[in-house]
Amino acid sequence: MSKAITIFGATGDLAQKMLFPSLYFLDMDGLLEPGLKIAGTARSDTDFTAKVREAVKERAGDLFKDDVWQRFAARLSYVAGDANDEALYKALPKFDDVVYYLATSPDFFGTIARHLKAAGLAHDGARIAVEKPLGHDLASSREIETALEEAFTEDRIFRVDHYLGKETVQNLIALRFANTLFEPLWNKDSIEHVQITVAETVGVDGRWSYYDHYGALRDIVQNHLLQLLCLIAMEVPASLEPDSVRNEKVKVLRSLRPIGADGVERETVRGQYTKGTAEGKAVPGYTGEQGGSASDSETFVAIAAHIDNWRWAGVPFYLRTGKRMSERSTLIVVQFKPVPHSIFPRRGLDANRLTIRLQPEEDIALSLMNKTPSLEQGGMQLKPLSLNLSLIDAFKNRRRIAYERLLLDALAKNQTLFVRRDETEAAWTWIDAIENGWRARDMFPLPYPAGTDGPPDAHKLIGRDGRGWVD
């Protein structure tokens, strides 16, 4: 039986920078079946193998080995063609067991699915993998979904959110459900608030017109940030079966308190970077980026979110993401409540805090109050110290590209780390209310200089509750 992955948009950025290097690494580690073929298609007529070789070499560095490359290159094939043209689908190689990976603009998702079906390529052994963003809002995501579903059943649709492929993101499940320590405390009785930050130092990286159509809310919050929130907030799933996990995630998304026109001014902050400094270099503002022009799109968002269910009633989830921030950091902070009564007269006690850093380093820290060694009279001196778990030190493994896990799972038909349609729709419903609220209230992005922490109002958003962002 022939088995393959066929990548649409095979000469584009995502395929070249992520998908082919990931497949190469999987091959290097002996994780690709010997007979697996890798087919590419895109519009350009190019020396495909040479192009992929360059991309893989750049990413793999010292791990690029000629013998692995030879084995990998023997799997590759390429067909140049237009995704709108049925001739392309006649020319594509046919396989019994295949993942069609759409690394294209979402504008093509529906068309490609329809053509695959018409050409008899969407048979029972075929899956389709689609990248975010799935649409621009609920209505457009439904249009795409309808087209996908006309060709593929839900169990053959793999919606990719690459954050779910990250080791540390999966580790959230292990941390919560493979330890007895946290679960009894993991609720409104012991947790005061949660912060989730996805901060980047990069700007829009040459993809201004794409980004401008979406903005930070749709680019990051709708998917990556809400997925992190789901993993932190969901109930214990019955198992790791795809639908067990996804049933719990969708409940969280549906419990998010809507923020509409009445709430956006209080619960959200929008920002857009102006010129400034990033990693020591002067950089232009968002509108001055290559391809840029005047724009009302946000490159920063902060939100005070609430999950209206028994576990989380009254616990704010502060969400924040931005481009051109002062440092790259993906961070989840679980702030516990203080002890109900202090017997230590000398000073206030810092409440415990669990900090899960996903990027750039992967580590987990639990702050605990300790006695400072001293013979002083008149009460103990206390100091918060941290129990640290560095995943890099504990596991000396190469840090994998998130797509390695996801490609392998799509090939193995395992949907646990892929997003289900109802999750996407629940996320869009919440995001659309915010977008509509911004429009109704004429809420334009506030400026912040590149290389800073976003507009000052983001500090006010959390500061009004007597709290501050943890960096």
User: What is the token pair recorded at 118?
Assistant: 């018409």
Which SS3 state, helix, strand or coil, does residue 243 take? helix
Q: Is 457 within 8 Å of 301 (Cβ atoms)?
A: no
Residue 219 beta carbon to ligand BG6: minimum distance, rounded to whole angstroms:
5
DSSP E strands: which ranges in 259-298? Answer: 268-274, 276-278, 281-283
Q: Which residues are catalytic?
A: 224
> If you ran DSSP here, which 8-state letter would residue 189 be given?
T
CB of 158 to ligand BG6, least distance (A): 16
* Shortest separation between residue 224's beta carbon and ligand BG6, angstroms: 6
Beta-strand pair 37-42/3-8: parallel
Q: How far is the CB of 108 from ligand BG6 (least distance, A)?
A: 17
Decide if 454 contacts 269 (C-beta within 8 A).
yes
Nearer to ligand BG6, 6 or 201 (CB): 201
CA 80 to chain CA mean position, Å: 31
Residue 103 three-state SS: coil
Nearer to ligand BG6, 28 or 217 (CB): 217
Please identify, using beta-carbon distances, which residue of 98 and 450 lies nearer to ligand BG6. 450
- Output 33 or 205, the one with its CB closest to ligand BG6: 205
Q: Which residues bind ligand BG6 (CB under 6 A)?
A: 200, 219, 359
> Closest distance between ligand BG6 and the C-beta of residue 387, in Å?
26
Omega into 360 within 30° of 0, i.e. cis? yes
Beta strand extents in 28-123 (DSSP E only)? 37-42, 76-80, 97-102
The answer to whether 124 and 97 have CB atoms below 8 angstroms apart is no
Cα–Cα distance between 221 and 223 in angstroms, integer? 5
Q: Cα-atom radius of gyration of the chain, to the nearest Å? A: 24
| The residue type at 286 | Y
Contact 410, 158 (CB under 8 A): yes
Dihedral (CA of 40, 43, 49, 52) sign: negative
Nearest-approach distance from CB 359 to ligand BG6, in angstroms:
6
- What 3 state SS string does 312-366 have? CCCCEEEEEEECCECCCEEEEEEEECCCCCCCCCCCCCCCCEEEEEEECCCEEEE
- Retrieve residue 451's tokens: 């290389």
Count the Cβ atoms, other than its own, within 10 Å of residue 460.
11
| Residues 181, 185, 186: CA angle, nearest 5 degrees | 100
Nearer to ligand BG6, 170 or 335 (CB): 170
| H/E element, 187 | none
